[in-house]
Structure 1
Amino acid sequence: MINCTLKPSPQPSNTEALAQVVTAELVSRGVSVESVRAVDLNLLPGVKSDMGEGDDWPRVHAQLLNSEILVIASPTWLGRPSSVAQRVLERMDAMLSETDDDGRPVAYNRVAGVVVTGNEDGAHHVISEIGGALGDIGYTIPGQAWTYWHLGPGAGPDYLDDERGHDWAHKTGRAMAANLHTTAQALAAHPLQAPPS
């Protein structure tokens, strides 16, 4: 799980709080989960897997290659994903040209989903932007592989400050985790092959 909050640790993160509902469901299904708060890292701008000295992305890239399930969690800012989420996706762009030993894009046979929080509307837009980018990179996006929380339209309270809407967001988050897990199992049993040349 890559949390793309703008808040550095140890500040409380609304996005992380909802993402933990998804990760808890994954853990209950036997999935080992690692979480990264991207804003705490020095992710240099660029579209390579390693931008050189001082770049923390290579460690995250290695975690991606060791993971079958990816969750990107982002707050909504001005109706869009956070700048940190955009940086993460730009760095993942390098994966488009990386292949495994069988000639498949390295994101093939991996699944991904999206978690969004915000005290404004725009969650579906954020989900479609991040989900679309992950699909371009090669991830499989199952049906209903997302959850979100906000009390729009317009600005409002934060997730951690208001219990309204939590039941729906949590139920949807657990469904998201179930769909990610089931699809990952299906791909492990019947992997995608390299695309035709």
Structure 2
Amino acid sequence: MLNALALNCTLKADESERSSTDAMIAVLADSFAEHDVTITETVRIAALNIKPGVSSDEGEGDDWPALRKKILAADILIFGGPIWMGQISSIAKRVLERMDAFISETDDQSRMPSYSKVAIAAIVGNEDGAHFSSAQLFQALNDVGYTIPAVAACYWVGEAMGSTDFQDLDKTPNKVTETAAMVAGNAAHLAGLLKAKPYPGQD
């Protein structure tokens, strides 16, 4: 059995407030269920106190250490976020900055704690920037040890300068559903292989 953790990097701190990122994560959750992958939790990052910094513990009141444990316990990381000003949200960048600590937290075979774990992206917005946002995420996540499968991003963008959000759609577009199925299938396949046979690292 594989498990996944979803990070919602919306700017909305109130967890009771609807989020299009949550809606996209829900689409992926349906597809992952077909591969017996359970999403253990969706974490609203803005509701936590994730302090700025590049260490795994920035001191009193920092919620990162507890979140870090959840992230590293997951076989698959669903990194969700909205597009703002044509790029991924500042909340998402804060998470990536904190993951930078993985680079110096290697084991005796030079493997970062995120080695043999898979990451995918769930991106929404009513402006351009999905490809740029996924490029930002995937480069950073690969730098800190994650493996990115083929077709690793499920995204939706509305009409340029429009006001319709993904969560406002009457029906999930077929292309989004099809892409979610491919993303989930590829991620589950790769995560299963890596869990059975992790990266060897360096002797």
**Structure 1-normalised TM-score?**
0.93
Paired residues, number: 196
Q: CA deviation at 1:27?
A: 2.9
Q: Structure 1 residues 101, 163: closer, same or farther in 2, change over 3 A?
A: farther
Q: CA deviation at 1:56?
A: 0.5
- Of 3, 7, 11 in structure 1, the residue corresponding to residue 8 of structure 2 is 3
Distance in 1 of aligned mates of 2:132 and 2:57? 30
Gaps of 5+ in 1: none
Distance in 2 of aligned mates of 1:13 and 1:130? 20
Q: Can you list the C-alpha shifts for 1:115-173, whole angstroms capped at 9, x where unaligned? A: 10001011000011011100111110011011100124444411122347622112211
RMSD of aligned Cα (Å): 1.6
For the pair 1:99 / 2:103, whether they are aligned, the reply is no
- Of 54, 66, 70 in structure 2, the residue corresponding to residue 63 of structure 1 is 70
Q: CA deviation at 1:28?
A: 3.1
Looking at secondary structure, tell me which structure has more strand per residue: 2
Distance in 2 of aligned mates of 1:78 and 1:125? 11
Does the 8 Å CA contact 1:149/1:165 hold for their aligned counterparts? no
Matched residue of 2:96: which SS? helix
1:86: which partner in 2? 93
**Structure 2-normalised TM-score?**
0.90
1:36: which partner in 2? 43
**Identity across the alignment (%):** 41
Q: Which runs of 4+ in 1 moved over 4 A?
A: none
1:129: which partner in 2? 136
Does the 8 Å CA contact 1:144/1:179 hold for their aligned counterparts? yes
